[in-house]
Amino acid sequence: MIVGRITRISGPVVTARGMEGIKIRDMVRVGELGLVGEVIEVKGDLVSIQVYEETDGLRVGEPVQSEGRPFLAELGPGLLGTIYDGIQRPLEVIRDQTGVFLARGASGDPLNRSKRWHFVPTAQIGDHVAYGDVVGWVQETPAITHKIMVPEGIRGRIVAIAEGDYTVDEPIAELDTGQKLYMKQLWPIRRPRPSAQKIAPALPLITGQRIFDVFFPVPKGGSAIVPGPFGSGKTVTQQALAKWSDADIVVYIGCGERGNEMTEVLTEFPRLEDPRTGQPLMRRTVLIANTSNMPVAARETSIYMGITIAEYYRDMGYDVALMADSTSRWAEALREISGRLEEMPGEEGYPPYLASRIAEFYERAGRVICLGSPHREGSVTVIGAVSPPGGDFSEPVTQNSLRIAGAFWGLDARLAYSRHFPAINWLTSYSLYLDVLQDWYIRHLGADFLAMRRELLEILQKEDELKKIVQLVGRESLSEPDKLLLDIARTIRDDFLRQNAFHEIDAFCPLKKQYYMMQAILTFYKACQRLVGTVPYDELAKLPEWEQLSKMRYVPNEQIGSFFPKFIQELSTLSKEAVR
């Protein structure tokens, strides 16, 4: 056991001496309280440690003890439905023990040690198993079967395995090598969990949010960023995705944001039902909370902790969606630590390795063939919020993130100000995934889905050009077809793209309804285009159909099939007589 002494304390960074043999990224316990820390620099005899808990009260001369291993995540049944801090202490357990939200030096086992899980083997005595092979399962929640996989470094023939109720510390199988298998395994959070093969993502993450599903989709295994200025809707967007996207598992990281936002998640999720399983949403969710009032350095780990847990469920063959709100706060933690280490600063004071850290994080997204047998495919989709100071997207965190993420959902202060939510700018946002998703859309929704998407976007682009003309010469100078186009564009913006995250029905829009809504708008547009030469446009502008279009997003899900075909039929047969 390596034990050193503190020589200097600078905020979350502590320097120690007398720790020969310690390695970078080793985990240590700092001071009499045994605060959790990690070695981030070794320079001769001096070791720099980032401490994941508040360091006030620590004194020079107090001991620093090496744990002789890197920082590890504990993986096993019981992760779902739990709320952790950045170093995987379960927040509720700690609150129970100490009466406060989080006490320093407090420890709580990440996985419950006394709970028994019913283990059902799928492997048998005599089977040869190796890293990644599934040997059995546990029903972790009613919807999620937790696969028990052979951890790295273990290989052999099973000599004992039996169905029964076990805690995560009791062996569920034994190999001829003498090695034992448990339901719990450990993984160093900074190291990506390997897979057999990365494969091209080809299935969309269905979000129930029209602007994403129709305009800027992200596949399961893709990555997207949501940059936006203060109050533009980053958190509401991330939470809507956490609630409604069709991932099997959601990992939600609240990183450096206000505590009350996390409280909203905590109080709301248990009440909400997963639209696919009817189960409380919390049962498919792992929350990692490192709010603004919690130690800065642990923001850094919260990101790695979250993605490690996401990869672990991916390895079972699940589609996992990870939301990180906000990656800017994580980058700021990097900057603060780097400053304390007196490293040479790069752009805007961020460390020169900011770009590579951001890239490494997003590169852990992907769709994979999992290691081991039986054959499994899984994915991790990463959606990172970015909070650029002053909403300036040219700053380093936004720029480095958009270089690597495949979809860019740019929030716009002007849209938010005019209460157009989600305030995603449809002209500047993009998805690079349309090519890989095209087949899926054609097969499941028909080629016209993509054709309609294109038409809507073209109308909005044309609107943008026409608006410039209107500013110069006024609306009256426009041709009748152009006036019609402007009103259709407004309908697309207000009645299709706008979506109220807090409305009982509108919060989640099934794909079929999205399809019908596009069809209704475009059918009406075509009908008006037919009439616009024969009827004055001002008459068309008064049609009651505009009003009906503005209400279609509130059509309840059970009525989609009965309402829309009839509505669209009526729109298509709009005649001159109807106008008079």
Ligand X SMILES: Nc1ncnc2c1ncn2[C@@H]1O[C@H](COP(=O)(O)OP(=O)(O)OP(=O)(O)O)[C@@H](O)[C@H]1O
Q: Which residues of this protein are in contact with ligand X, per CB under 6 A?
A: 228, 230-236, 257, 387, 421-422, 499-502
Applying CB under 5 A, the site for Mg ion has a residue count of 2
Our CB check for Mg ion shows the closer of 65 and 235 to be 235
Q: Minimum distance from CB of 243 to ligand X (Å)?
A: 11
Our CB check for Mg ion shows the closer of 235 and 308 to be 235
Our CB check for ligand X shows the closer of 502 and 542 to be 502
Q: How far apart are CA 311 and CA 422, in angstroms?
A: 29
Helices (H) and strands (E) in the chain, counts: 17, 26
Our CB check for ligand X shows the closer of 315 and 395 to be 395
The DSSP H or E segment spanning 262 is helix 259-268
The interface partner of residue 339, options being Mg ion, ligand X, none and the CB cut-off 5 to 8 Å by kind, is none
| From 67-75, 186-194, 228-236, 416-424, span contacting Mg ion (CB under 5 A) | 228-236
The CA R_g of the chain, rounded to the nearest whole Å, is 27
Q: Say if CB 112 and CB 168 are below 8 A apart.
A: yes
For residues 437 to 456, the per-residue mask of contacts with Mg ion, x marking binding by CB under 5 A and - elsewhere, is: --------------------
Q: Say if CB 310 and CB 316 are below 8 A apart.
A: no
The interface partner of residue 421, options being Mg ion, ligand X, none and the CB cut-off 5 to 8 Å by kind, is ligand X
Q: Minimum distance from CB of 498 to ligand X (Å)?
A: 8
Angle between helices 511-531 and 480-491 (to 10 degrees): 160
Q: Is the dihedral of CA 177, 183, 184, 186 positive or negative?
A: positive
Our CB check for ligand X shows the closer of 134 and 250 to be 250
Q: How far apart are CA 81 and CA 555, in angstroms?
A: 32
Q: Minimum distance from CB of 296 to ligand X (Å)?
A: 17
Q: Minimum distance from CB of 347 to ligand X (Å)?
A: 22
Q: Minimum distance from CB of 229 to ligand X (Å)?
A: 7
Our CB check for ligand X shows the closer of 146 and 234 to be 234
Angle between helices 234-244 and 259-268 (to 10 degrees): 20
The interface partner of residue 523, options being ligand X, Mg ion, none and the CB cut-off 5 to 8 Å by kind, is none
Q: Is the dihedral of CA 365, 366, 372, 373 positive or negative?
A: positive
- String of b and e for 264-278 (b: at least 16 CB within 10 Å)? ebbeebeeeebeeee
The interface partner of residue 139, options being Mg ion, ligand X, none and the CB cut-off 5 to 8 Å by kind, is none
The interface partner of residue 466, options being Mg ion, ligand X, none and the CB cut-off 5 to 8 Å by kind, is none
Our CB check for Mg ion shows the closer of 234 and 340 to be 234
Q: Minimum distance from CB of 264 to Mg ion (Å)?
A: 10
Q: Minimum distance from CB of 393 to ligand X (Å)?
A: 14
Cα–Cα nearest to 575, from 542, 527, 526, 536:
527
Angle between helices 560-572 and 511-531 (to 10 degrees): 10
What is the DSSP secondary-structure string of 23-67? -TTEEEEETTTTEEEEEEEEETTEEEEEESS--TT--TT-EEEEE
In this structure, what is the dihedral angle of CA atoms 305, 232, 362, 383, given to the nearest 10 degrees?
70
Q: Say if CB 272 and CB 243 are below 8 A apart.
A: yes
Residues 233-252 that bind Mg ion (CB under 5 A): 234-235
The DSSP H or E segment spanning 382 is strand 377-386
Our CB check for ligand X shows the closer of 387 and 429 to be 387
The interface partner of residue 137, options being ligand X, Mg ion, none and the CB cut-off 5 to 8 Å by kind, is none
Our CB check for ligand X shows the closer of 250 and 316 to be 250
Instruction: For residue 272, give both structure tokens.
Output: 């909400």
Q: How far apart are CA 166 and CA 174, in angstroms?
A: 14
Is 338 a binding residue for Mg ion by CB under 5 A? The answer is no
Name the closest residue to Mg ion (Cβ): 235
Q: Minimum distance from CB of 236 to ligand X (Å)?
A: 4
The interface partner of residue 501, options being Mg ion, ligand X, none and the CB cut-off 5 to 8 Å by kind, is ligand X
Q: Minimum distance from CB of 204 to ligand X (Å)?
A: 20
Q: Minimum distance from CB of 27 to ligand X (Å)?
A: 31
Our CB check for ligand X shows the closer of 221 and 233 to be 233
The interface partner of residue 502, options being ligand X, Mg ion, none and the CB cut-off 5 to 8 Å by kind, is ligand X
Q: Minimum distance from CB of 532 to ligand X (Å)?
A: 34
Q: Say if CB 309 and CB 235 are below 8 A apart.
A: no
Our CB check for Mg ion shows the closer of 238 and 245 to be 238
The interface partner of residue 236, options being ligand X, Mg ion, none and the CB cut-off 5 to 8 Å by kind, is ligand X
Using CB under 5 A, list all residues that contact Mg ion. Answer: 234-235
